[in-house]
Amino acid sequence: MKGLKIVFAALLVFVLASFRLAPNPKEDLGIKFFHGTFEQAKQLAKEENKLIFMDAYASWCGPCKMMARGTFKKEAVGTFFNENFINLKIDMEKGEGPQLSRKFGVSAYPTLIFINSKGEEVAKTLGYHSKSALLELGELVVSSRK
């Protein structure tokens, strides 16, 4: 009986661990952010003939967290932004963030900045954006390029 309990407990741990380790397909539908430096993002934008979409955020910012958990995870937002932009998410208080914050005049969070491959600002907006507002903004920026 004791051996059966141990086997059952081990099986239960394995099953629970499997659920926790399994990827969440919903998380794969949103914006895919580039993991590299700003200079690398500029180079990739040049190679792919795309603009950079930069989420300038701070780790303590509530609206930034809401967008990261909500707006950026939406399938429609991910599909549009992944197709049209090199997406970059930078904490403005760490690493190269303070330098970029000065360069682009970031004064509040979140600041959403669209940048060309030369590193020049094309458009900028402040604050929380819903799915529809962010899509509308992205479409406006893309259409102004044509």
> Is residue 78 within 8 Å of residue 32, measured between CB atoms?
yes
The H or E element containing residue 52 is strand 51-57
Domain chopping of the chain, boundaries = 24-145
**Whole-model pTM over 0.85:** no
Where would I find the H helices in 26-109?
A: 38-48, 62-69, 75-84, 97-104
Q: What is the mean pLDDT of residues 5-26?
A: 46
Q: Which residues are catalytic?
A: 61, 64
pLDDT tens for 78-107 read 999 999 999 999 999 999 999 999 999 999
Domain 24-145: give its CATH code.
3.40.30.10
